[in-house]
Amino acid sequence: MLNFDFYAPARILFGKDEEKRAGELLKPHAKKVLLHYGGGSIKKSGLYDAVAASLKANGVAFAELGGVKPNPRLSLVHEGIALCKKENADLILAVGGGSVIDSAKAIAMGVYYDGDIWDVYEEGKSIEKALPVAVILTIPAAGSESSGDTVITNEEKQLKYGYGSPRLRPLLSIMNPELFFTLPENQLANGAADMMSHVFERYFTSTTHTDLTDGLCEAVLKTLMKNALLAKKDMKDYDAWSELGFAGTVAHNGLVGMGRRQDWACHNMEHELSAVYDVAHGAGLAVLTPGWMQYVYKDNMGMFVQFAVNVMGVEGSYRDSEAIIQEGVARLRDFFNKMGLPATLSELGIGEDRLEEMAKKATGEAFGRESPIGGLKKLYWQDVLNIYRLVK
């Protein structure tokens, strides 16, 4: 086990009707909040009205900024920063999924940042201060409700970069699984793939003596797969959505990766797809992950046997590791397939013409600062291109 620094202070308020407590919960922390959200779904569902009523009943004023899109854009972040300054907002309440929360975090930093907040993403500059962010989650997927991470797309530059700081950990996150009932099926599937990937990126490691976090990762993965299939059968299954929501938070609050060398190659490779083709992050991960496994397993047989046996339930003779691993990866593909997720780049509408460009962006090669990605196996741009081609 490696040394680690674990800090996950976000308070999680979980269960039925918790969103109605928004005003009561935020009152001690804010006089005026920026209510930040996406399209009109929260207005249609009544969530907007419930939150607004709760804020008003508790004397918490608010300004608002809707319009966050999947793969949230820098231009709206700029708008949010200006609005927060104008309105003197002292907290941002993100009502939505990962895109809304990530956008809120960018605004929260931007209010105190002298210059274009994109610098922080592109140059990894450190920040000193940010407004507090609170969350009402409407889709379990990104894990941004407990993490200190944010990913923003610079639509002009066709770049999608992430940034992380303990200062960006939300103050509190409200999660009522009933709010997930009206999601479209493909968002359930994309979310499941994203949450699983958050665990995979931490689980596949070359670090030894990781009993506890191995077990935690495996528990989260099995919970996610079982309950994603249950929710797919019945999109109003409260218990299944509860497991997905809670597991999604544990998947990405840092805990299950503590003391482990982490990987993150699949996320890096996927960000390039999303930045150029604006595909759904989870769908991109579902395509790339089995390809990545095929490409890297040979150097890490033990880890992949463990995955096949402990997570995918493969039985067989350990003398035939190769067969066990292949069966494990096949079962993962099968799970993604059952969830209706794509298996190839072409299903995502991605052709071969820009694969090399994306591979070179993913590894920094395109910007003259080559830095291979992946903690388990170092991947150079040629490797990334090979993986893209494996799943074309």
What is the nearest approach in angstroms of a second copy to the Cβ of residue 260?
Answer: 11
Note whether 218 binds a second copy by CB under 8 A.
Answer: yes
Note whether 7 binds a second copy by CB under 8 A.
Answer: yes
Residue type, 159: L
DSSP 262: -
Task: Report the alpha-carbon distance of residue 318 to residue 326 in Å, rounded.
Answer: 13
- Which of residues 14 and 181 has its CB atom nearest to a second copy in the complex? 14
Task: Report the alpha-carbon distance of residue 5 to residue 12 in Å, rounded.
Answer: 20
Which of 149, 243, 272, 365 binds a second copy (CB under 8 A)? It is: 243
Q: Per CB under 8 A, which region of 100-108, 223-231, 266-274, 311-319 contacts a second copy?
A: 223-231
Residues in region 257-286 near a second copy by CB under 8 A = 258-259
Note whether 209 binds a second copy by CB under 8 A.
Answer: yes
Task: Report the alpha-carbon distance of residue 266 to residue 189 in Å, rounded.
Answer: 17
What is the nearest approach in angstroms of a second copy to the Cβ of residue 132?
Answer: 13
Residue 270 C-beta-side C-alpha neighbours within 13 Å: 29
Which of 37, 121, 161, 246 binds a second copy (CB under 8 A)? It is: 246
What is the nearest approach in angstroms of a second copy to the Cβ of residue 107?
Answer: 23
Note whether 135 binds a second copy by CB under 8 A.
Answer: no
- The packing angle between helices 185-203 and 281-296, to 10°, is 40
Give the interface size with a second copy as a residue count (CB under 8 A). Answer: 40
Structural element, H or E, at residue 93: strand 91-96
What is the nearest approach in angstroms of a second copy to the Cβ of residue 76?
Answer: 31
Which of 54, 154, 227, 268 binds a second copy (CB under 8 A)? It is: 227
Here the tokens at position 390 are: 């494996």
Note whether 312 binds a second copy by CB under 8 A.
Answer: no
What is the nearest approach in angstroms of a second copy to the Cβ of residue 316?
Answer: 18
What is the nearest approach in angstroms of a second copy to the Cβ of residue 345?
Answer: 32
Q: Is 77 helix (H, G, I), strand (E, B) or coil?
A: helix
Contact between residue 90 and residue 131 where contact means Cβ atoms under 8 Å apart = yes
Note whether 211 binds a second copy by CB under 8 A.
Answer: yes
Note whether 302 binds a second copy by CB under 8 A.
Answer: no
Note whether 137 binds a second copy by CB under 8 A.
Answer: no
What is the nearest approach in angstroms of a second copy to the Cβ of residue 186?
Answer: 23
Task: Report the alpha-carbon distance of residue 134 to residue 174 in Å, rounded.
Answer: 8
Note whether 181 binds a second copy by CB under 8 A.
Answer: no
What is the nearest approach in angstroms of a second copy to the Cβ of residue 302?
Answer: 16
Task: Report the alpha-carbon distance of residue 68 to residue 78 in Å, rounded.
Answer: 12
Task: Report the alpha-carbon distance of residue 321 to residue 302 in Å, rounded.
Answer: 8
Note whether 236 binds a second copy by CB under 8 A.
Answer: no
Structural element, H or E, at residue 31: none
Contact between residue 99 and residue 106 where contact means Cβ atoms under 8 Å apart = no
Q: Per CB under 8 A, which region of 47-55, 104-112, 250-258, 382-390 contacts a second copy?
A: 250-258
Note whether 250 binds a second copy by CB under 8 A.
Answer: yes
The candidate with the shortest Cα–Cα distance to 134, out of 88, 89, 170, 106, is: 170
Q: Per CB under 8 A, which region of 97-105, 125-133, 210-218, 312-320 contacts a second copy?
A: 210-218
Task: Report the alpha-carbon distance of residue 123 to residue 367 in Å, rounded.
Answer: 12
Task: Report the alpha-carbon distance of residue 173 to residue 195 in Å, rounded.
Answer: 17
Note whether 219 binds a second copy by CB under 8 A.
Answer: yes
What is the nearest approach in angstroms of a second copy to the Cβ of residue 283?
Answer: 24
Contact between residue 23 and residue 81 where contact means Cβ atoms under 8 Å apart = no
Give the contacts of 363 (CB within 8 A, at least 6 positions apart): 370, 371, 372, 373, 379, 380, 381, 384
Q: What is the largest CA-CA distance in the chain?
A: 67
Kindly tell me the sign of the dihedral angle through the C-alpha atoms of 175, 176, 182, 186: positive
Q: Per CB under 8 A, which region of 99-107, 212-220, 260-268, 331-339 contacts a second copy?
A: 212-220
- Which of residues 9 and 316 has its CB atom nearest to a second copy in the complex? 9
Note whether 205 binds a second copy by CB under 8 A.
Answer: no
Note whether 6 binds a second copy by CB under 8 A.
Answer: yes
Instruction: Give 325-343 as a DSSP string.
Output: HHHHHHHHHHHHHHTT---
Chain positions contacting a second copy, by CB under 8 A:
1-9, 11-16, 18, 208-209, 211-216, 218-220, 222-223, 226-227, 239, 242-243, 246-247, 250, 255, 258-259
